[in-house]
Structure 1
């Protein structure tokens, strides 16, 4: 079941962009929104956060749409083509964390000096950024778990044992929503629940996921409490 010997396929840039088109679309839309806000006079951090939020929202809509309509056969085909490295996941996760920290520091800080609707908008932007960034991180990991599970050339490499109900055949194969469940549990609790990890590669990825989620949750909570106490 090990995936250490898997050799990544060499792809042209156009192929890479095609396979990751939802992320490309999200980046383009988010950047466009941030640029369109330039004439409004908003502070640069606010412009970037709005662009980030719109881009992440687009990515999540496309991701959840894909999860709902994609069957296992399609997941296997995609797993044979897509291989998100741990470095890419780490960079995107850190980006989500930094966006949340910027939102807390700048937007909650700005709300301290604002009044009425303006103050509420700053708080709303900060809250939205944190929620979207956290959800984005779980989405990234859920796709990676799925592609790692179905691994080499779309075969079933495994690495996770999902519990089966008596009404479900034991050979029933997990889809994207099952891996989303696994990722959400780690994201919320920094530990696994009823899904057993049997692969070294997935175990290491789950450890990284748990550590990132723990520090994300802890940092956001600490900074939020500190900023709110200063505002009050």
Structure 2
């Protein structure tokens, strides 16, 4: 796929809006893929832009189902996973479920695309954990020559005062900050290690900074991966 056809947006709501713009310009159905933890960010444009009762714009969503009931996952995904089906039905978005045991991928995908096109509405492919095989990335650079994330985090923390409030994003960034503090026998008291709420770390930090202008607040953000 051409890089021009694969666009990474700031959040899932932006992705839905961008996809709507693509359809309006090209009249071809775009694919928007996301993890279900980001579906909350996409609800507004799905219901107030692409919904059949508004602009009626066909989209194909591919949603990774984290926190599926009965499947072990991180705590921030449990509630979202538990209500996933109810959420899709409440939004009136038709969907097909895929798992590692599915054998009718092509038929289900074709069905969703046809429904999106015929009824001018979003439809979704709901992907269970383990459906896809492991992705083996192609390394273009010698990773041994690159600074590791944990090394960069340790340098940042070493250069902050003991009174600095640190707010870090979800995922390995926060986990590694916790591990660095433990290794160096440092307190966790002034750290807010975000679990979940991907994309909202900077707003949490801003809220703290506005409420405590007397304190230095450092936000360590990224994609959390």
Give the TM-score normalised by structure 1. 0.24
Larger helix percent: 1
Which of 1 and 2 has greater Rg? 2
Larger strand percent: 2
Give the TM-score normalised by structure 2. 0.24
Greater relative CO (CA pairs within 8 A, separation 6+): 1
